[in-house]
Amino acid sequence: MEPQSHFDETRTDMNSSGRRRSVEPVLMDTAEVAAMLNMSTSWVYREASKLGLKGYKLGRGRNAKVLYKRSEIFKWLEQQKIH
């Protein structure tokens, strides 16, 4: 059995009436954040801590994956609005 990815597909969950509802992923990887912001992955790695985005490192060394909370990304993005 292959492990499920955190972003490859939207998960489903059952609500109280027994109907399926989609559940958005909580974490995004660096490539997803970069694509959403229309920036490069190197920009995300370099600027994330300056922007107050805390990453969660999974794994070790060069193969480690850095994930970010989706809600923190949207919160930061909302703060960038020009009024």
Give the residue-averaged pLDDT of 15-32.
80
CA-based nearest residue to 66, from 39, 48, 83: 48
pLDDT band at 20 (very low <50, low <70, confident <90, very high): confident
pLDDT band at 49 (very low <50, low <70, confident <90, very high): confident
Segment (H or E) for 34: helix 30-37
Contacts of 41 (CB under 8 A, 6+ apart): 30, 31, 34
Contacts of 67 (CB under 8 A, 6+ apart): 6, 27, 28, 29, 55, 56, 58
Question: What average pLDDT does the chain have?
Answer: 81
